[in-house]
Structure 1
Amino acid sequence: MPFTDEEVDALNEQERAYPLEFFQAFAKEITVYEDDDIWVVDKPAGLLSVDGKTLKVSLLARLERVNPAVKLIHRLDMDTSGLLIFAKNAAAQSNISKQFIERLPQKKYQARVFGKWQEVGATGKISVPVRYEPTTKPRHIVDHNWSKNALTLYEVMAHEECNGQTVTRIFLKPVTGRSHQLRVHMVHVGYVMIGDPIYAEGTALTIAPRLNLHAQQLRLKHPVLGAWMDWESPCPF
């Protein structure tokens, strides 16, 4: 949910007051892999990837307190948890950014949606354009007239119970990387992600304490070694 101006000020002030040891401990806790060129971390839900216009509390800012040379490559929504890769020098940033442009990295997310969707083991794709809608900020919408398509592959994993309600656990693989793509694609097929503070309402929103979307797997080529590398983060829900 959006923060009030007073809450933003309090969070910013609290962040500025933390000692260096706080950021070092935070970085150590979330680090999945690190070498001279790259830094793979497991982002907590509820933390911005980069500073916002007013809220200056983010994953990038915290990592910069530990290593000022760290460089952004891609992002996750504030409400999403999971794997993010950062570069530790300009050459690595350029190499991996080019990989993302060429759609070489492979990403897989795990999510839970409200209701019983399809049969276990079902696979398919959702291919509809997604764009930002300024009249309903920060929402994005499906717009069939939009020029940039968005493609998501899916697999139904299980039907489960969450606080007395039926939910469906799914794997989602974004082929394209549009903002809010996975969340909007699931809304489009009629099965909103539970705990989603932007798109869910009623029971679908309150059934879970956070958005049930997690970047679980990441695979790409090391920018120096050239070898494919794989990382995985346990799903927290």
Structure 2
Amino acid sequence: MPFNDATIGALNLQETEYPSKFFQAFAQQVTVYEDDDIWVVDKPAGLLSVEGKTLKVSLLSRLERANPKVKLIHRLDMDTSGLLIFAKNAAAQTNISKQFIERLPQKTYQARVFGKWESVGNRGKISVPVRYEPATKPRHIVDHDWHKNALTHYKVLAYETCEGQPVTRVALKPVTGRSHQLRVHMVHCGHVIIGDPIYAEGSALDIAPRLNLHAQQLRLKHPVLGAWMDWESPVPF
């Protein structure tokens, strides 16, 4: 979502003027699970995970107003909604961050992409490197010569229509966590995610009011209990 300087300034000012009860209510609204060590939340689309260079309205900054001890572990793109886990102490942050480095957490996203993609029930993997392209900021691109691979597993779930256009609902499981990985991998397959303000054009952009990408499921080990835990968020599209 593009913002001009005036809009950013107004949003930043508005955020500072909200009373503390606003942030407490927001935290309660997005909370999926919380205990003494972790905090799992459902991020709304259109909200930064962390503050940007100019826009200071973010999920983390709002949660910090509700609980100053909250600690960042990972993030989602501004346009993506769904599950994120935060730590509530340094030990939990270190433990879960290590799990992410070791690729232990299991994440499943759901998306709707433009057109009919393969057959319902098909499974496969996309293994092509993704890197940032400065010439087309903020876009990322597939670069087969790039040294960091990106791997996504997928399953075709259903054929649907959106505003009269054919779309395909897919489950996406990223193994690596490159920026824009799922969005670029879908472009690479010839089926951009609908409503994507960065990569979609024409009907693929116009038929959906938001990026149809949602972090639906998250599974990892509790940093203290050591038990595997699972969370799921309803898909909003």
Letter of the structure 2 residue corresponding to residue 59 of structure 1: L
Where in structure 2 are the equivalents of 1:67-216 lying within 5 Å? 67-216=67-216
Cα distance in 2 for residues equivalent to 1:16 and 1:144: 45
TM-score by structure 2 length? 1.00
User: 1:68 Cα deviation (Å)?
Assistant: 0.4
Cα distance in 2 for residues equivalent to 1:4 and 1:61: 21
Letter of the structure 1 residue corresponding to residue 198 of structure 2: I
Where 1:125 maps in the other structure, the secondary structure is strand
Cα distance in 1 for residues equivalent to 2:152 and 2:50: 25
Cα distance in 1 for residues equivalent to 2:12 and 2:139: 25
Where 1:72 maps in the other structure, the secondary structure is coil
Cα distance in 2 for residues equivalent to 1:161 and 1:142: 28
Letter of the structure 1 residue corresponding to residue 205 of structure 2: L
User: 1:213 Cα deviation (Å)?
Assistant: 0.1
Cα distance in 2 for residues equivalent to 1:202 and 1:185: 19
Cα distance in 1 for residues equivalent to 2:119 and 2:9: 47
Cα distance in 1 for residues equivalent to 2:13 and 2:29: 23
Cα distance in 2 for residues equivalent to 1:8 and 1:28: 26
The equivalent of 2:5 in structure 1 is: 5
Structure 1 unaligned blocks of 5 or more: none
Letter of the structure 1 residue corresponding to residue 137 of structure 2: K
Cα distance in 2 for residues equivalent to 1:20 and 1:163: 41
The equivalent of 2:29 in structure 1 is: 29
Where 2:82 maps in the other structure, the secondary structure is strand
Where 1:149 maps in the other structure, the secondary structure is coil
Where 1:116 maps in the other structure, the secondary structure is coil
**CA deviation digits over 1:33-58, x for unaligned, max 9?**
00000000000000000000000000
Where 1:226 maps in the other structure, the secondary structure is coil
TM-score by structure 1 length? 1.00
Cα distance in 2 for residues equivalent to 1:21 and 1:54: 25
RMSD: 0.4
Where 1:42 maps in the other structure, the secondary structure is strand
Query: Post-superposition, which runs of at least 4 consecutive aligned residues in structure 1 deviate over 6 A?
Result: none
Letter of the structure 1 residue corresponding to residue 4 of structure 2: T
The equivalent of 2:40 in structure 1 is: 40
